Amino acid sequence: KQEVTQIPAALSVPEGENLVLNCSFTDSAIYNLQWFRQDPGKGLTSLLLIQSSQREQTSGRLNASLDKSSGRSTLYIAASQPGDSATYLCAVLNAGNMLTFGGGTRLMVKP
């Protein structure tokens, strides 16, 4: 059974710092990996999707990498801003077309 783990569970940084969020998964037979953002009490917003054949994807200040063989992904956020404060979720798509989610990293960026 696929298990997805995210560390750290919480992170507090001053504005302007570059930061890295980590995600690991136990079964490397994935179709893709997605990073989502969740604001308190709200839905999930898709940030980046990396296909299993890709190594990384970039969108603005966000860069996500994927090492499928070792079961790891990182989300790099450059020049963090207070508006980046949210919970970041990593999810992998397995056979059966279901997403398996990690527990999230709760990020606080202080002005």
Partner 1 sequence: EPEVTQTPSHQVTQMGQEVILRCVPISNHLYFYWYRQILGQKVEFLVSFYNNEISEKSEIFDDQFSVERPDGSNFTLKIRSTKLEDSAMYFCASGARGDPRGETQYFGPGTRLLVL
Q: Residue 40 carries which side chain, given as an amino acid letter?
A: P
Residue 93 binds to partner 1 (criterion: CB under 8 A): yes
Stretch that binds partner 1, among 11-19, 20-28, 68-76, 88-96 (CB under 8 A): 88-96
Q: C-alpha dihedral over 61, 99, 103, 18, to 10 degrees?
A: -10
> How many whole angstroms separate alpha carbon 14 and alpha carbon 100?
31
Q: Would you give the binding string for partner 1 spanning residues 12-51, x where CB under 8 A is met?
A: -------------------xx-x-x----xxxxxx--x-x
Exposed (0-12), middle (13-18) or buried (19+): which is 22, by Cβ within 10 Å?
A: middle
**Neighbouring C-alpha atoms within 13 Å toward the C-beta of 34:** 17
- Which of 53, 69 has the CB closer to partner 1? 53
Binding residues with partner 1: total (CB under 8 A): 24
Selected from 100, 105, 107, 109, the binder of partner 1 by CB under 8 A is 100
Where do contacts with partner 1 occur on this chain (CB under 8 A)?
31-32, 34, 36, 41-46, 49, 51, 89, 91, 93, 96-104
